[in-house]
Amino acid sequence: MNKTGMSIRDQAGVSLAIVLCIGALLVTLSAVLVRSGSNLTDSARRTIEQERAYQLAVSFSDQLKASLCTDSARQDSLGAFLDQHFLTPEYGAEPLTLDCAEQTAEEYGQISLTLEKQQLPMTRTFQLSRDGWEPALPSPEGARVADYLVQVTVTATLPEASFSYTESYHRWVDCTAVYEYEGASYRYAGNLTFQPAEGAGADLVLSGEQALVCRFEPKQAADTGYTSVAEEWYDESKTAATIR
């Protein structure tokens, strides 16, 4: 009995310590429950604000697309800015952020743009097989070639949410096609015949299975145009190729 009594006395304070540990666990769980509940409620409320930002960014991007693909000749349009500044070799390769000057309608958020560009290869290799050229050679007059891939990201920022939407465009330019064969340059004259690009020389007539490298050179004061890459996939006539 004495021994048991001593044993109980040795453990004095143990039950309270255990209860405090359990208590700490319960308090932590309670805090987690309350916090996650509040967070989820905020998240549901934020969805509406996110949707507002989404609507603004996507609809502004659609307006830019309409302007770029149909009205790029206007002097102060996005197309003119791309042609005269952003897509010139002098500009460099770094992305450009454009902020909107002061807007009067605050409820339409703050709109900003980020422009990025990627120069596309201006040479193609054409393979002559028994059945003809694969793929078809550009016409002797030249071709319309996509020389740049431009990404325009619209960011709409509202007080409690923001959304960014990116649309990709091809910039098309009228080019002449110059063919390289054994160190000399030729222009295609039709019927598998190529004429020397510069000076006099013998025509080149090809036969058999051969490959020709074609270099596209933009024409002087060439017309440019833009198309949405996403829409090219839906339009079979335009195809995903970058030569027309």
Q: Of 13 and 199, which CB lies nearer to another protein in the complex structure?
A: 13
Site for another protein contains 78 (CB under 8 A)? yes
The sign of the torsion formed by the CA atoms of 77, 81, 83, 87 equals: negative
Cβ count near 144 (within 10 Å): 17
Backbone angles phi, psi at 121, to 5 degrees: -65, 140
Min dist CB 140 to another protein, Å, is 36
Among 1, 3, 4, 9, binds another protein (CB under 8 A): 9
Alpha-carbon distance 179 to 195, whole Å?
10
Among 73, 95, 100, 129, binds another protein (CB under 8 A): 100
- Alpha-carbon gap, residue 147 to 152, rounded angstroms: 16
Length of the chain in terms of residues written:
244
Write down the least CB distance from residue 32 to another protein, Å: 9
Residue 133 tokens read as 């050229």
- Interface residue with another protein among 67, 157, 168, 195 (CB under 8 A) is 67
Question: How far is it, in rounded angstroms, from Cα 190 to Cα 133?
Answer: 12
Residues that bind another protein in the complex, under the rule CB under 8 A: 8-9, 11-13, 15-16, 18-20, 22-23, 26-27, 29-31, 33-34, 36-38, 40-41, 44-45, 47-48, 51-52, 55-56, 58-60, 62-64, 67, 76-78, 80-81, 85, 96-101, 103-105, 107-109, 111, 113
